[in-house]
Structure formats: C-alpha cells, structure tokens
C-alpha cells in the first residue's frame, strides 16, 4: 500500500495543482450549473403551489428541494473526466504509449482525479450541503440533520464516484467507434442523468420501469446516495443498496480490465 | 512611402507573486510593470524597396510589424504608410497591404485552397476579370496549380507558405509585410520563395518589409536592412555599408605542415596590430586568423605566413554577414545609422 | 447600389462557409448523428420530465401542458439561430485571443466581428431547431392562437430580435477576453441563464424574475413574446421589450467589442 501511494502520489499532486490553477474557471462553471438547480427548484415550487397537495408521489416540497440540490452535489463530486481522457488518448493515438509505462493507466488517472475531487469537494460540497441544511432548518423549524445518515451518505458517495470512474473509463473506449467525443459524451450524459434519477426521482417512474432502473448501475450513481441522505431508506434497504453498489463497482473494474487487455492484444497485433 | 517616427509600444505586464496568497493579492490589487517592446524607432522606406528587418528573438520585430499592419496601436510615435495611418481607418488601410505571418496561416484550414481565394476575392472586392488575371500570374510565380483543389490543412509547409503569399498578393497590395516567410522550410523551397518575392517586387514595384532569422534571405533579397535589439534600432543602411563598416574583417585559414613551426608566427608584432584587429585561433587541425584588412593587406598577410611555414592548404575568406551580425547582437552597442 | 453590393458579398461569403460545413457534415455522418441524437434525447428527457409533472397537476401557475410546450419550443428557436450563425464567438472566449489568432482578422478589410462570425456555420444547431419547430407544431393546434398575417409577422420579429439578445450577451461576455485573454467560463455562466427562459417567468421569485427581465433579459427571448401569443398581453411590452432589449444588448456588445479590439494585445511581443 505504501509503495502504491509513493508511485501514484505525484499524480494526485498534479491534479491538485491543475484544479487550483483553473479554480476561477471552475467556480464560473459550477455557478452556471447551479443555475439549473434553481430552475428545477422554482419549477417544483410552482408544482406544489399549483397542485395544492402537500406531497407529490410521496415527496414533500422540502424533500424535493433537498433532492434537487443533493443530487446535483452528488453528481458534481462523483464526476469523472475518464471517458473524455480515454477518448482523447484513443483519438490521438497516445493510448499506445500507456502500454509501455510500468504503471496502471486507470490507477494513475484516478490518483490525478483524486486531487481535483478534493478541491471541488471543498469548494462546492461544504457550502452547498450547509446551505441545504440551513434551508431545511428554516423551512421545517427543526434541526433535521442526522449524522448517521450523513456518514452513510458519504460512504455511498465514495462508492458512487468509484463506479462512475470505472464506468467512464469503459465508456471512453467507445472512441474507437464514435470519433465525435463531444457528441458521444453528450449522449452519455443524457442517458446517465435520466437513468440515475438526477432529473426525476426514480420513484416517479412507472412501477415496472422504476424497479428495473433501481437495479441498474446508474441508480448507484445518484439515486441511492441521495435517498440515503434524505433518510428515505431503512437500514435493510441501505445495506442492500451498498451491496448493489459494490456489485456494480466490481463489475466495472473487471469489465475495464477485460476491455483493456483486448485493446492491448489488438494493438500488439495491429501495431497501434 | 513608409514613414516611421519615434514609434513606441509599451505593454503592461502583471507581476505575479508565487503561492495562493500571492495570487490572491494580485487578484485584489494587481501590480503591473511596464515593458517597452519598441523604443522610439524611426526609419523610412521608399517605394519599391525590399527592407530586411532583423534582430534577435524578442527584439521587437514582430511588434513593429504588427503596428505597421494595424494590428496593434502604438503607445506613442507615428507611422504613415501610403499616406494612411494603420490603426486609424484600419479597414481602408489594409486593402493596400498584404501580410504573411510565417508562424501561422491566414488561410481557412478546412476550405479547399481555391475556395479560400474565392473568399478573399469577395472580402477584398476584386472584380472577376482582375481576379482571373491575378490568379494566373500568381500561379505562374508560385506554382499553385498542383494543390489548388486540396484543403489547406493537407498542404505541406512549403505549399502552405506559397499559398499564404499568394493570398496576401491577391488584391495587388502596394506594400507586402512578410514575417519570417522562410521559417522551417528546406533549402530548395526557400530559394523558390525568395525568387517569387524578388519577381513580384521587380514586376510591380511592391514595397516589401520582411523579418527573418535567415541571413541568406537578407543577402539575396534586401536592398537595405534595419537591425533592432531590445526595442532599439542599432543599424540602418545598405548591406554593403554594413559589410564595409564591420566587414573589414577577413579570415585567413590554413593547415600548416608543422604546427611547432607555425607557432613562430607573430602577426601582432610583425604588423604592429592591436588586439581589436587580429585574432588567432588554433584548434589543432587548422589555424584561423581573423584580421582587419584596413590595417594590413591580404597580400602581406599571405606572404608573411608562407614565409614562416609550409602549408598543406590555405584560403582567405570574405566577411561573413552572419558573423558580423552575431558580433553586433552580442556587443549590443548603439551604432545608429 | 453600394448597400446591395455589400449584402451580395455577405451572402456569398456565408454561402461558401455553409457549403463547407455541410460538406463536412456529410463526411462525418456518424459524428453528426451522435451529436444530434444526444441533443434530441436531452430534449425528449425534458419532455418526459414535464409530462411526469403534468400527470399529477392540471396546470402550472395557470399554464397548461401545451402552453408550456409552446413556450419551450419558442425558446429553442432564437437559441438555435444564434447557435447556427454566431457560434464562433465561443472560440473568441476560449482560444482565438489566447493563442494570438485574432491577428488575421485585423488584416482584413471587413469588420472584425463579421470576419469572425462568418467563418463558422454550426450545423449542430439543427437539432435544437428541429425540436423547437416540432414543439411549436405540436402545441399550436392544441391551444387557442389565431394565425393571421400580423401574428406571423410579429412572431418572425420576435424570434429575430430574441436571437440578438443571445448574440448580444455572447458578444459582451466574449469581448472580455480582449482584456483577460480568456472569458469562456464567464460566457458559460451568463449563457446558462437562458435555461430560465424555458418556463413561465411567473414561477420564479422576484429576485430571479427581475434578473432575467432586466439584467440578463433572457425572459424576453421566450416567455414574454410567447405569452403575447398565448394570452394576449401588451405587445408594446412583450414584443417591444424584446426589440428594445435586443437593440440595447447588441449596441453594448458592439461597443465593448470595438473597445476590446483596440485594447487587444497580440500574443507574444
């Protein structure tokens, strides 16, 4: 473990510096994206005002607001650039260079992202989570913060990032076929944000579809952590969800290894 | 034709302090220092002349060119070309000039070369008949035919440069600015480009201002050179006069049969020369003697050398402009003009 | 005569670049399809989202599902047209100035703004354009809108000037790059405000509503003009407001752009 850390630490440091260098840009981008949350927030506010009912398919307005912001937060912290980076490497042919280095490509990438994630976590996670809790306190008048749910959420969030990371690497290999990285990533973002519950809670889906979506890996990215944060899952459900997340994590790690060795074989046959 | 008077350009540069604290500080209260890129430069160019603009990297050559082409506004001073001031009424002014930046193309990367010229034809409002005539002339001089239907991104560097020069000449400009037109090209292509520039200059009396690092360009093309260093003009005159002024230096090079005997040569005492006028170098294979031909004639040098030692080989070299310019860059003395 | 010649020249240049971009589209069909499918999917998901909401409530702040779709479709049109013709402004914000590539536009005898924008015809925008038109076509028969000459004329005017609101905002924010070398992220933040335009401004609180009405007036690119057609309303405010805002933003944009061009310090020295 110590040796691994020693080898990969420079990547974390580089990612850290990179993020620090672009922090102003980063702030503007995050601000641009948070605007979307507010639009959704106002839209739901209007829904609750227009509908007259206090709950919408089991969600109160406070639940919905927390859901909007925490799902954004989860998506932002668990974000991974993997598919873009792998795609670029494939497009410009640098992927071949990765094979001659004595380190694992994906591990180096992860350590680099670790640096960036730390910065974004500090810069958006703390203020936004605090904002949500203050909002809850103002609206409901009670201190609803539950440290246990919060800690379980953090565990689920870390799993979410890891799944997302390996999923993105796997998706990145699609650049062998789809050369338009911008387009294929837009496609991915659309599908993922829909299936992960980032746009509409999976509970709002038709029953059969909802059940299937709950089992797919995408639910592990956003829906599961947010439901845990909201305290909507009881302990057995949480344990089962963790099991599901771990299953998908292992699945994508292996899938990634299989695709990678197929690439290596293909390149050693075709010569890059 | 071109009048440049005390032209000056200053840039503000933010001083960045290291670390997070430093960058925060410079964000709140930025500190600037002023860098003078071009420092009161004055020169004139008559119509039809080819002027070489030379100087080491970062001397301010490009900044001067950018001011003359209307890209940058001078901090102070004046420049007037064809009776127009570049940065005022830019659109009207640029109709009369052509510009080529060797480092980057001005052609449209994705368009076929022919389409690129169609775009330029519209932009510069060249009428159909004039366009046809012009294209056939440019084709003759720059030999564009073989790649005119290819997209610009597929051209080789030499083809691209020819295409770029043709693009800058489509509207028959009176003045042509070439910023490093031969950079990165091989010897044959360089030669083609030089011939083309010469031909256009002769045919149409186009005034040409060119910057370069390749002194062959200067020797082959330029009537006159202006040399700048650290934003200041350090020489202005004909190449011959540069040679005359600094080029009295000749080089006598020989391989003695016996190096020990050759060691007896003492030019300084024989001709009573000072350190400035003579420089001897022995690298073990040959001996090189640089001397001032004003102080001692080539003939005397030769006969004295041969009287002391037998040689396997001997020759006397002309003043090398490259050497001269290197010397001037290094010493950086103000020698005006 | 001069003006006719100028218009002719403008169209000819546009034609050359449009032809080129369409050619490229044919060459990279799969790439284009990936982007277009992505774009369509994004809109389809939004539609699904709205339908989930309307499955539970009959109207949103007094607007029916069809009316919301009309506003949504309207919002996409000016966005798409701006995207189609003025996409190169993003390159100004991100890299043209930073890399010193702006030099070449300054050596051309046409306005720099024209030289920059004519270069790119963004075919990706067809996705938005098609979805926008589809939404309008689907919703118009379901709602009470009288189709007559005046309304069609006002509609065209409204879309045209709404486009200039987009362009104006992009122009102002991209020009910042003349001083800072790079302004893409600032552009992005301001541009994202357009997402507010898709829904009735009445659902937002006062602060947000006044920002998108008076400061970053994207409300005039969709809700205000669209609601003139939906519920009548004062054309002087709903359509006239769009014209005034577009004119003001374009004037400011061109002013800042020109200031920026004269402050431009080419890369290096």
How crowded is the C-beta side of C238, counted as CA atoms within 13 Å? Answer: 18
Residue C170: predicted pLDDT? 97
Number of domains in chain A: 1
Residue C217: predicted pLDDT? 95
In the predicted structure, residue A190 carries a pLDDT above the cut 50: yes
Mean pLDDT of chain B: 85
Mean pLDDT, residues A20-49: 81
In the predicted structure, residue B300 carries a pLDDT above the cut 60: yes
Give the percent of chain A with pLDDT over 70.
Answer: 90
In the predicted structure, residue C17 carries a pLDDT above the cut 60: yes
In the predicted structure, residue A184 carries a pLDDT above the cut 80: yes
Tell me which of B13, B85, B110, B117 to substitute to probe the interface with C (most C C-beta atoms closer than 10 Å).
Answer: B110
CA distance B167 to B158: 14
- Three-class SS state of C267: coil
Domain B2-243 has CATH 3.90.1170.50: no
In the predicted structure, residue C218 carries a pLDDT above the cut 50: yes
In the predicted structure, residue B332 carries a pLDDT above the cut 80: no
Mean pLDDT, residues C206-217: 93
Please give the residue of chain C at the shortest CA–CA distance from A52.
C57
Residues near A270 by beta carbon (within 8 Å), at least 6 away in sequence = none
Confidence of residue B169 (pLDDT cuts 50, 70, 90): very high
In the predicted structure, residue C119 carries a pLDDT above the cut 80: yes
Give the percent of chain B with pLDDT over 90.
Answer: 34
Give the lowest-confidence range in A21-35, B34-48, B269-283, C214-228. Answer: A21-35
Bridge partners (DSSP) of residue B36 are B10
Residue C168: predicted pLDDT? 97
Mean pLDDT of chain A: 84
CB contact under 8 A, B66 and C266: yes
Burial of A132 (0-12, 13-18, 19+ CB in 10 A): buried
Helix axes B113-123, B157-169, angle to 10 degrees: 20
Residue C69: predicted pLDDT? 94
Q: Which two tokens stand for residue B278?
A: 């003579």
Residue C268: predicted pLDDT? 47
Residue from the list B69, B72, B124 with its beta carbon closest to the beta carbon of C109: B124
Mean pLDDT, residues A1-26: 66
Confidence of residue B253 (pLDDT cuts 50, 70, 90): confident
In the predicted structure, residue B26 carries a pLDDT above the cut 70: no
Mean pLDDT, residues B175-198: 90
Mean pLDDT, residues C10-24: 83
Alpha-carbon B205 to chain mean position: 20
User: How is chain C split into domains, by residue range?
Assistant: 2-263
CATH class held by domain B248-318: alpha beta
Residue of C220, C225, C171, C232 lying closest to C196 (CA atoms): C220
Please give the residue of chain C at the shortest CA–CA distance from A24.
C185
- Three-class SS state of A39: helix
Residue from the list C108, C264, C266 with its beta carbon closest to the beta carbon of B123: C108
Confidence of residue B334 (pLDDT cuts 50, 70, 90): very low
Residue of B253, B328, B261, B258 lying closest to B291 (CA atoms): B253
In the predicted structure, residue B25 carries a pLDDT above the cut 80: no
CA distance A265 to B3: 67
CB contact under 8 A, C119 and B108: yes
Residue B128: predicted pLDDT? 92
Mean pLDDT, residues C101-108: 91
CB contact under 8 A, A186 and C61: no
Residue B335: predicted pLDDT? 46
Give the lowest-confidence range in A67-81, A82-96, A190-204. Answer: A82-96
Please give the residue of chain A at the shortest CA–CA distance from C200.
A43
Q: Of residues B245 and C94, which shows the higher confidence score?
A: C94
In the predicted structure, residue C94 carries a pLDDT above the cut 80: yes
ipTM here: 0.83
CA distance B188 to B193: 9
Find chains touching chain C: ≥3 CB pairs under 8 Å: A, B
CB contact under 8 A, C41 and A191: yes
- Taking CA C83 as the corner, what is the angle to CA C77 and CA C86, rounded to the nearest 5 degrees? 125
Residue C26: predicted pLDDT? 76
What pLDDT digit, counting tens, does each position of B199-242 carry?
Answer: 999 998 999 999 988 878 888 899 899 988 888 888 898 887 77
Q: Are A214 and A131 in contact (CB under 8 A)?
A: no
In the predicted structure, residue B114 carries a pLDDT above the cut 80: yes
Residue B336: predicted pLDDT? 41
Residue C225: predicted pLDDT? 94
> Token match 């420092």: residue?
B39
Confidence of residue B121 (pLDDT cuts 50, 70, 90): very high
Q: Which residue segment(s) compose the domain that A104 sits in?
A: 2-270
**DSSP codes joined into one string, C169-237:** HHHHHHHTHHHHS--HHHHHHHHHGGGGGGS-GGGS-HHHHHIIIIIS-GGGGTHHHHHHHHH---HHH
How crowded is the C-beta side of B67, counted as CA atoms within 13 Å? Answer: 27
Q: Are B60 and B72 in contact (CB under 8 A)?
A: no
Mean pLDDT of chain C: 89
Q: Of residues A114 and C114, which shows the higher confidence score?
A: C114
User: How is chain B split into domains, by residue range?
Assistant: 2-243, 248-318
Q: Record the pTM.
A: 0.83
- Taking CA B154 as the corner, what is the angle to CA B153 and CA B160, rounded to the nearest 5 degrees? 75
Mean pLDDT, residues B258-266: 85
CB contact under 8 A, B91 and C12: no
In the predicted structure, residue B337 carries a pLDDT above the cut 80: no
Give the percent of chain C with pLDDT over 90.
Answer: 55
Tell me which of C9, C103, C179 to substitute to probe the interface with B (most B C-beta atoms closer than 10 Å).
Answer: C103
**Residue B314 dihedral angles phi and psi, to the nearest 5°:** -155, 140
Choose from A247-261, B183-197, B251-265 the range with maximum mean pLDDT.
Answer: A247-261
Confidence of residue A16 (pLDDT cuts 50, 70, 90): low
What pLDDT digit, counting tens, does each position of A86-137 carry?
Answer: 888 887 777 777 777 777 778 888 888 887 777 777 778 888 888 888 888 8
Residue from the list C101, C110, C262 with its beta carbon closest to the beta carbon of B73: C262
Residue A54: predicted pLDDT? 83
Helix (H) or strand (E) holding B176: strand B175-179
Tell me which of C35, C62, C176 to substitute to probe the interface with A (most A C-beta atoms closer than 10 Å).
Answer: C35
Mean pLDDT, residues B25-48: 83
Q: Of residues C137 and A94, which shows the higher confidence score?
A: C137
C-chain CB neighbours of A33 within 8 Å are 192
Mean pLDDT, residues A214-235: 92
**DSSP codes joined into one string, B308-332:** H--EEEEEEEPPPHHHHHHHHHHH-
In the predicted structure, residue A28 carries a pLDDT above the cut 80: no
In the predicted structure, residue C147 carries a pLDDT above the cut 90: no
In the predicted structure, residue A185 carries a pLDDT above the cut 60: yes
Mean pLDDT, residues C40-47: 87
Can you list the positions of beta strands (E) in A107-181?
none
């Amino acid at each position: 473990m110590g040796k691994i850390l020693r080898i990969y630490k420079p990547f974390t440091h580089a990612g850290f510096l990179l993020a620090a260098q672009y922090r102003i840009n980063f702030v503007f981008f995050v601000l641009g994206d948070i605007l979307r949350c507010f639009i959704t927030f106002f839209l739901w506010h209007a829904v609750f005002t227009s509908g007259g009912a206090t709950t919408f398919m089991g969600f109160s307005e406070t639940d919905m607001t927390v859901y909007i912001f925490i799902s954004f937060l989860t998506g932002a912290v668990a974000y991974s650039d993997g598919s873009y980076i792998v795609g670029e490497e494939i497009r410009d042919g640098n992927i071949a260079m990765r094979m001659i280095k004595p380190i694992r490509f994906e591990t180096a990438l992860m350590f680099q992202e670790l640096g960036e994630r730390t910065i974004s976590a500090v810069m958006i996670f703390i203020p936004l989570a605090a904002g949500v809790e203050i909002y809850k306190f103002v609206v409901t008048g009670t201190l609803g913060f539950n440290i246990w749910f919060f800690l379980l959420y953090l565990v689920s969030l870390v799993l979410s990032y890891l799944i997302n990371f390996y999923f993105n690497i796997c998706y990145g290999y699609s650049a062998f076929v789809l050369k338009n990285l911008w387009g294929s990533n837009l496609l991915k973002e659309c599908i993922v944000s829909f299936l992960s519950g980032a746009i509409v809670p999976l509970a709002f889906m038709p029953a059969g579809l909802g059940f299937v979506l709950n089992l797919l890996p995408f639910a592990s990215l956003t829906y599961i952590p947010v439901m845990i944060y909201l305290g909507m899952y009881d302990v057995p459900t949480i344990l089962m969800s963790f099991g599901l997340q771990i299953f998908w994590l292992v699945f994508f790690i292996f899938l990634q290894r299989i695709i990678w060795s197929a690439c290596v074989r293909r390149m050693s046959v075709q010569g890059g | 034709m071109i009048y440049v008077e005390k032209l000056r350009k200053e840039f503000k540069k933010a001083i960045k302090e290291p670390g997070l604290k430093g960058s925060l500080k410079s964000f709140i209260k930025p500190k600037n220092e002023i860098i003078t890129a071009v420092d009161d430069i004055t020169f004139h160019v008559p119509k039809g002349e080819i002027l070489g603009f030379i100087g080491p990297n970062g001397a301010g050559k490009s900044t001067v060119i950018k001011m003359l082409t209307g890209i940058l506004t001078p901090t102070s001073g004046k420049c007037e070309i064809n009776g127009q001031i570049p940065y005022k009424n830019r659109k009207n002014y640029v109709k009369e000039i052509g510009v080529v930046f060797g480092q980057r193309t001005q052609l449209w990367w994705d368009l076929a070369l022919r389409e690129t010229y169609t775009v330029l034809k519209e932009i510069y409002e060249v009428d159909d008949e004039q366009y046809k005539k012009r294209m056939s002339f440019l084709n003759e001089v720059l030999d564009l035919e073989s790649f005119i239907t290819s997209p610009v991104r597929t051209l080789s560097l030499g083809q691209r440069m020819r295409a770029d020069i043709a693009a800058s000449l489509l509207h028959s400009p009176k003045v042509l600015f070439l910023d490093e037109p031969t950079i990165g090209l091989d010897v044959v292509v360089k030669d083609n480009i030089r011939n083309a520039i010469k031909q256009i200059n002769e045919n149409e009396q186009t005034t040409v201002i060119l910057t370069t690092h390749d002194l062959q360009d200067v020797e082959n093309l330029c009537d006159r050179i202006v040399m700048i260093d650290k934003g200041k003009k350090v020489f202005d005159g004909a190449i011959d006069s540069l040679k005359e002024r600094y080029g009295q230096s000749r080089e006598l090079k020989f391989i003695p049969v016996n190096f020990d005997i050759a060691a007896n040569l003492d030019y300084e005492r024989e001709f009573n020369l000072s350190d400035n006028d003579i420089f001897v170098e022995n690298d073990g294979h040959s001996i090189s003697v640089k001397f001032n031909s004003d102080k001692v004639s080539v003939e005397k040098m030769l006969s004295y050398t041969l009287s002391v030692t037998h040689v396997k080989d001997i020759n006397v070299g002309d003043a090398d402009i490259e050497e001269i310019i290197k010397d001037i860059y290094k010493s950086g003395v103000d020698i005006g003009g | 005569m001069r003006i006719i010649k100028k218009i002719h020249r403008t169209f000819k240049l546009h034609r050359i670049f449009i032809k080129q971009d369409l050619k490229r589209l044919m060459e990279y069909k799969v790439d284009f399809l990936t982007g277009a499918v992505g774009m369509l999917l994004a809109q389809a998901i939004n539609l699904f989202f709205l339908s989930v909401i309307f499955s539970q409530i009959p109207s949103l702040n007094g607007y029916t599902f069809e009316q919301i779709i009309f506003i949504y479709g309207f919002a996409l049109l000016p966005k798409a047209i701006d995207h189609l013709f003025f996409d190169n402004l993003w390159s100004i914000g991100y890299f043209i100035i930073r890399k010193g590539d702006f030099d070449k536009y300054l050596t051309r005898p046409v306005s720099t703004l024209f030289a920059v924008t004519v270069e790119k015809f963004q075919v990706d925008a067809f996705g938005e354009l098609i979805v926008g038109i589809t939404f309008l076509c689907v919703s118009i028969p379901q709602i009470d809108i009288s189709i007559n000459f005046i309304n069609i004329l006002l509609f065209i005017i409204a879309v045209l000037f709404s486009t200039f609101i987009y362009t104006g905002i992009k122009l102002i924010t991209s020009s910042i790059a003349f001083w800072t070398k790079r302004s893409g992220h600032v552009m992005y933040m301001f541009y994202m405000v357009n997402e507010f335009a898709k829904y009735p401004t009445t659902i937002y609180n006062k602060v947000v509503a006044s920002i998108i009405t008076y400061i970053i007036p994207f409300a005039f690119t969709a809700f205000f003009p669209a609601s003139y057609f939906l519920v009548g309303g004062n054309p002087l405010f709903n359509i006239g407001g769009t014209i005034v805002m577009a004119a003001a933003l374009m004037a400011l944009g061109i002013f800042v752009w020109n200031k920026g061009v004269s402050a431009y310090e080419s890369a290096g020295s």
